[in-house]
Amino acid sequence: MTRLRHSRAGALGRRAARFVVVTGMSGAGKSQAIRALEDLGYFCVDNLPVALIPTFADLTLSSQGEIRRAAVVVDVREGTALARFPTVYTQLKRQAAQAVRLMFLDAGDAALLRRFSETRRPHPLAEGRSVAEAIRVERRLLQPMRRLADQILDTSTLNVHELRRRILESTSGAGTAAPLVVNVLSFGFGRGVPPDADLLFDVRFLPNPHFVTALRPWTGRSARVARFVMRAPAARRFLQLTAALLRFLVPQYIAEGKSYLTVAIGCTGGRHRSVAIAEALGKRLRGLRGIELQVRHRDAAAG
């Protein structure tokens, strides 16, 4: 069954291929590869019939096409039609050599056997065969595609994060992956903790503007409320330490391949302290490389 996957566009390097064919051994990481390509903005099709590849490539490579870059997975699930792939791909390379790329993912037999044992998923060629026998048959069937590959990536010793990083770097060049989206979110504990929070900080220890009559109607986005909150030495120290922590953590999350990070800042009602701190923290994080920063206030408008 053909499955379509599409995601938000990421920044692509000038050397990036516009049409990528991902193939290789079952269990070598093709699913992780296609997810990484999604994060670079590729329109991805898993298990596209070989007969449709020229048409899909034309739609992608045409100057009038709406799809600017695409990736397809082709493997032994194609059955006997797989034998036609070398001819199809050779023709594509003649037409657009620089824009087309074939990536072959491989792994040692021991690694593949271990992965199938751990996941308990059946090998697509395992009917009437052991997994070891199916792997041998698959290698033979894929040998013509392996010889055509522009890149052969051995994933035997790579974990999912290392594989993702290698795919991103090899496809678009280092440093061109989609930015990490960092959401700094203020909220009130009275309305519950945000379910998507990755990191949560409680600022209820700070003086509460709610108990100052002149400040109560305003939110933490007001300059007068922000001055009140930041007047406390503990607020300034908290902001300094938290910003330093995030400046350390964010590059680690980027290296791991994380796409989204939600930093939740909570106070009692979510209108004063958490809002002021979230705004101040956002200003300190704006210079970080490799991120797309958003500052949002879940409960600031609540009465």
Centre a 10 Å sphere on the Cβ of residue 193 and count the other Cβ atoms it contains.
13
pTM exceeds 0.85 for this model: no
Phi, psi at 73, each rounded to 5°: -105, 130
Cα distance between residue 20 and residue 34, in whole Å: 10
Assign domain 3-172 one CATH number from 3.10.450.50, 3.20.20.80, 3.20.20.140, 3.40.50.300. 3.40.50.300
pLDDT, one tens digit per residue, over 196-212 is 899 999 999 999 999 99
What amino acid occupies position 100? V
What's the mean pLDDT in 272-294? Answer: 93
Q: What are the angstrom distances between the C-alpha of 240 and each of 233, 250, 300?
A: 11, 16, 23
Q: What is the residue whose two structure tokens read 């030495």?
A: 233
Q: What are the angstrom distances between the C-alpha of 207 and each of 58, 192, 269?
A: 63, 21, 13
Tokens of 254: 């980027």
pLDDT at 2 over 50: no
pLDDT at residue 303 in the model: 60
Decide: 105 and 25 in contact? Cβ < 8 Å.
yes
3-class secondary structure, 257:
coil
pLDDT at residue 88 in the model: 93
pLDDT at 224 over 60: yes
If you average pLDDT over each of 6-10, 217-221, 255-259, which comes out highest? 217-221
Centre a 10 Å sphere on the Cβ of residue 156 and count the other Cβ atoms it contains.
14
Q: How confident is the model at residue 296 (pLDDT cuts 50, 70, 90)?
A: very high
Cα distance between residue 34 and residue 145, in whole Å: 18
What's the mean pLDDT in 100-126? Answer: 87
Closest CA to 175 of 17, 41, 31, 11: 11
Average pLDDT value over all residues in the chain: 86
> Both ends of the chain: CA-CA distance in Å?
51
pLDDT at residue 190 in the model: 93
Closest CA to 195 of 185, 181, 207: 185
Instruction: Report the Cα 275 to chain-centroid distance in Å.
Output: 28
Q: How confident is the model at residue 122 (pLDDT cuts 50, 70, 90)?
A: confident
If you average pLDDT over each of 9-13, 123-127, 277-281, which comes out highest? 277-281
Q: What is the residue whose two structure tokens read 């069954």?
A: 1
Element (H, E) at 297: strand 291-297
Cα distance between residue 21 and residue 54, in whole Å: 12
pLDDT at residue 207 in the model: 96
Q: What is the residue whose two structure tokens read 């045409």?
A: 62
Q: What is the residue whose two structure tokens read 């792997």?
A: 135
pLDDT, one tens digit per residue, over 135-154 is 999 999 999 999 999 888 88
Centre a 10 Å sphere on the Cβ of residue 290 and count the other Cβ atoms it contains.
15
pLDDT at residue 63 in the model: 65
Cα distance between residue 54 and residue 62, in whole Å: 12
If you average pLDDT over each of 66-80, 104-118, 173-187, 216-230, which comes out highest? 216-230
Domain ranges of the chain: 3-172, 180-297
pLDDT at residue 161 in the model: 77
Instruction: Report the Cα 8 to chain-centroid distance in Å.
Output: 10
Closest CA to 289 of 254, 260, 238, 243: 254
pLDDT at residue 105 in the model: 93
pLDDT at residue 172 in the model: 58
pLDDT at 13 over 50: no
pLDDT at residue 229 in the model: 97
What's the mean pLDDT in 103-129? Answer: 86
pLDDT, one tens digit per residue, over 171-181 is 654 444 567 88
pLDDT at residue 65 in the model: 64
pLDDT at residue 44 in the model: 92
pLDDT at 268 over 90: yes
Cα distance between residue 174 and residue 166, in whole Å: 9
